Amino acid sequence: MNISFTTKQRKYIKDQVESGDFQNSSEVVRDALRLHATYRQKLINDLKIEIEKGWTGPTSNRMIKDIIKDKSS
Global confidence as pTM: 0.69
Run of H or E including 11: helix 7-18
- Which tens digits make up the pLDDT trace of 4-58? 999 999 999 999 999 999 999 999 999 999 999 999 999 999 999 999 998 998 8
Query: CA-CA distance, 38 to 42, in Å (whole number)?
Result: 6
pLDDT at 73 over 80: no
Q: Does residue 61 register a pLDDT over 90?
A: no
The predicted pLDDT at position 72 comes to: 80
Residue 9 CB neighbours (<10 A): 14
What's residue 59's pLDDT?
Answer: 87
- Which of 36, 16, 35 is closest to 26 using CA atoms? 16
What are the CA-CA distances from residue 68 to residues 15, 25, 54, 71 (Å)? 44, 45, 16, 5
